[in-house]
Chains A and B, each alone.
Chain A
Amino acid sequence: ETGVTQTPRHLVMGMTNKKSLKCEQHLGHNAMYWYKQSAKKPLELMFVYSLEERVENNSVPSRFSPECPNSSHLFLHLHTLQPEDSALYLCASSLQRLEAEQYFGPGTRLTVT
């Protein structure tokens, strides 16, 4: 596998479920990101990790919980989500923190019912 991969590609979950999104980068980058993309809205940066340390949390509700066990893997743990959380969740990586040459994964299309 090359680049940035994300699993699952599609997820439907109820409001009381707990699920996790996974991201893996094979580029040797030091920074990883979670973004939320909703229709007609700009990409929203949710979390930034640099060398496995969370360096940014953009006022994201606590029902979203990130985890970065090493520089290649990033998780987004989800629990008690709301229907308005339905969106495309994108993972990205870059060589250094907040360099704009970011490489994105294909995203997870999340639907909360």
Chain B
Amino acid sequence: EDQVTQSPEALRLQEGESSSLNCSYTVSGLRGLFWYRQDPGKGPEFLFTLYSAGEEKEKERLKATLTKKESFLHITAPKPEDSATYLCAVLENYGGATNKLIFGTGTLLAVQP
């Protein structure tokens, strides 16, 4: 069964304490992997798209990387405002023009000052 698994489920960091979030996937026809940030009471906000193994994208304190089986979201020297739920999603091709977007359950990140 196609699956997207995120770990840890929750992560508590001190301000400035760098760490990584993981998104592993088991799909056959990967078309892309995507990271979103979701704040309480709001819809997800798009962060990154990664299309092929070895690709990296950066935005401020965030860096996303992709291998053939997983993606990492590295957070360097986080600040309290980085606290949010981080969602991973995989776009899978089912053949022809049929794609399906599969989300993980997210990692709830809390950064304490």
Contact = CB atoms under 8 A, between A and B. Distances in A.
Nearest to B89: A100
Nearest to A33: B101
B101 A98 contact: yes
B101 A40 contact: no
B87 A43 contact: yes
B57 to A, nearest CB: 12
Contact of B105 (A40, A45, A90): A40
A49 interface: no
Nearest to B93: A98
A107 B89 contact: no
Question: Which secondary structure dominates chain A's binding surface?
Answer: loop
Contacts of A102: 44, 46
B43 A90 contact: yes
B32 A100 contact: yes
B76 interface: no
B104 A42 contact: yes
A104 interface: yes
Interface string B36-59: 000001111110010000000000
A100 B101 contact: yes
A92 B36 CA distance: 13
Contacts of B104: 42
8 contacts: A4-B43, A42-B103, A91-B43, A98-B99, A100-B89, A100-B91, A100-B101, A107-B41
